[in-house]
Every structure is written in structure tokens, then in C-alpha cells.
Amino acid sequence: MTHNLEGRDFITTQEWTTDELELALNLAADLKDKKRTNKPHRLLTDKTVFLFFFDKSTRTRNSFEAGITQLGGHAHFIEASTSQVAHGESPKDMGIILSSYGHGIAIRHDLVPGEGNKYMREVAEHASAPVFNMQCDVDHPFQTLTDLMTIREKFGNNLKGLKIAVSWAYAPSYAKPISVPQGLITLMTRYGMDVTLAHPPEFKLMDDQIELARNNAQTGGGKLEIVDSMDAAFENADIVYPKSWGVLDLFGNPDEALKLAANYKDWICDDKMMSIANKEAIYMHCLPADRGNEVTDSVIDGPHSVIYQEAENRLHTCKAVMALTMGGIKNQSG
């Protein structure tokens, strides 16, 4: 089957078929090898991508900026508060105008449930260039595609029957978005994995994303289980992914969410918790991890941790999606 992904948005992984995701993963692996062996891969010469941020970033911004540079193009960084969006400019106008200036529009808008994904889709409706979700309130597709790439590097391409524990963990720093756990449960269930989601009762995910993950599990041959114990999630797990997120109904009141989180300081990934998982289990995190709260140094810096391999892969999946959608590769077979 031949796929032409030029012009396609990447707003959620769900909107790409598994064949299309496979193309991105295969190209990411090829681009990773080319970078490591210093082979030129200027697939997007003179192409421009606009990076529009409503929130802070380290890995996402730099994977896009470094990635487009290595592909022969250029990134424009735009902080929303310094743009006319702060004065009310519409998503329609931004989509039309930036499309006329360049070849891709990437947006991070992740801290307000009900806003970020809607905003991206409105931009995409009017943009002639592909729109990329650098993290919204619903999904973080570049991160979860990266996580899938990393898991396959460790366990091979057949992931059926592997257990991944996606668990809430305590952090006092700020009420973090819920898009990473949602992206994980909706993507990994498509690949036949047994996904166990764990969180205290107040830290639920969006109902429609839970339903989507259940449907994906049925189609993919895996499972989705929801528990209220980190211990239960970690039991016999092959992959553990403990991270903090906020309370869905309290993103307008983060101080109250942090007070609730303080009731669950024992939700930490430490050596005792890792001993519950399988002996060869890997520890993952999208970063930044709140050391000493979400996870101990002995785990995140220990033999189970793949966080730096995972973080590096952000570059390669980012480059692959841009190359496939911004005209770097016209047709791919899969």
C-alpha cells in the first residue's frame, strides 16, 4: 500500500492508521541511524515550520528546532504572549497567514482542558499547511509516538501481551497536563499491550479518552484496566510510566489541585516499587521528572531507566513526521 502523507495534520495519534504510524516509526529509525553516522538527510531544504507556544518547553521546542535544521529547513519560535493572539487574533487568521509564509504550523496549548485541542483544530481547518500538536489538553502525540519507538527498541516490534503501567505520581511543582497519560492509554492499546492505568480517585482522565482506549484495546487485542493503587499497576509490569498530572476539574484552581495531590505523597516510584515490576522492566518518563517526589534518583538514574534514550527519540520522531507531512517524502509504501 502506498501512502502520501504530505499536508496531513498530526493532532492525535488516533487520526493516523497503524500503517501510517509504522511509516513514521520506520523513517524515525532511519533518520536516527543517519544522524549517528553523520549522513546528510536534508529532506526539507528551505522549508519553514512555525512553533507557537502557549506553554513552556525544553524537549519539544528543541527537537523541532534541531530537527528542522538537520532536515535543511528553519524554525520560527513564537511565544503566544508576544504575538497578536494575546490581543485576540483569531485561529482562522493565524492559520491562513502562517500557511502562506511557511510549510508547517506547530502548536503547544496544553494547560486548559477544553481549549488546546479545539484551538489547534480551528487553526487546521483554515491552514493549507499541516498542523502539528506539540501537546494539547487531550494528547501529546509526538511524545507517545516516541514512547512507542523506545519500547519497540527494547522489546521488539511485537508488543502483544506486554504490560505497561501508566500511573499517577506525586509532584508539588505544578498541576501538570493530563495529555501524556491519555495519549499513552489510547496509543499503546492499539498495539495489543495490556495497559493498567492507576491514579487516586480525584485524578481521573477524560471519559471519552478512556472509552477510546477501551475500544482500541478490543480492536488491538490488548486490555485496559483501571486501578487505584500504584502497587497494583506495577505488579508484573514490563514498562512503568509513573508521572504526575492535575485534577481535570481544577485546572482553573491549581493551588487546590496541589493540596489534593499532597494527600498522596506515597505515590512515588522508588526501588521498592520497581521490585514489584518484572525483573527486566524499564522505567519511562516524558520529562521533566520531579526528582524526589515522582521518582527517586536511584530509579531514574538506575539500570531500569531509559529516559535519555526516550528523550533522544523525540528528535527522530519529530523529524520523521515533519518529513512525511511537509513534502520531504512524496510517497512511502507500507
Cα distance between residue 322 and residue 122, in whole Å: 20
> What SS3 state is found at 125?
helix
Q: Other C-beta atoms within 10 Å of 333: how many?
A: 8
Domains in the chain: how many in total? 2
Same-domain check for residues 155 and 255 = yes
Same-domain check for residues 126 and 194 = no
What cell does 177 get?
Answer: 497536563
Whichever domain contains 227, its CATH number is: 3.40.50.1370
What's the rounded mean pLDDT across residues 122-129?
98
Length of the chain: 334
Same-domain check for residues 147 and 280 = yes
Same-domain check for residues 304 and 324 = no
Q: How many helices (H) and strands (E) does the chain have?
A: 12, 11
Same-domain check for residues 78 and 162 = no
Same-domain check for residues 167 and 306 = yes
Same-domain check for residues 192 and 301 = yes
Taking alpha carbons only, the member of 199, 310, 308 closest to residue 257 is: 199
Cα distance between residue 20 and residue 24, in whole Å: 7
Using the predicted structure, report yes or no on whether residue 113 has a pLDDT greater than 60: yes
pLDDT band at 329 (very low <50, low <70, confident <90, very high): confident
Phi and psi at 133, nearest 5°, equal -90, 105
Please state which of the ranges 9-13, 273-277, 328-332 shows the lowest mean pLDDT: 328-332
Using the predicted structure, report yes or no on whether residue 334 has a pLDDT greater than 80: no
Same-domain check for residues 205 and 168 = yes
pTM: 0.96
Using the predicted structure, report yes or no on whether residue 333 has a pLDDT greater than 60: no
DSSP 301: T
Q: Is the peptide bond before 288 cis (omega within 30 degrees of 0)?
A: yes
| pLDDT tens, residue by residue, 222-237 | 999 999 999 999 999 9
Same-domain check for residues 167 and 63 = no
| pLDDT tens, residue by residue, 245-275 | 999 999 999 999 999 999 999 999 999 999 9
| pLDDT tens, residue by residue, 148-168 | 999 999 999 999 999 999 999
Find the domain containing 219 and state its range. 143-311
Instruction: Give per-residue burial for 20-38: e unless 16+ CB within 10 Å, then b.
Output: bbebbbebbbbbbeebeee
Please, are residues 75 and 51 in contact by the beta-carbon 8 Å criterion? Answer: yes
Same-domain check for residues 203 and 284 = yes
Same-domain check for residues 186 and 57 = no
Same-domain check for residues 304 and 203 = yes
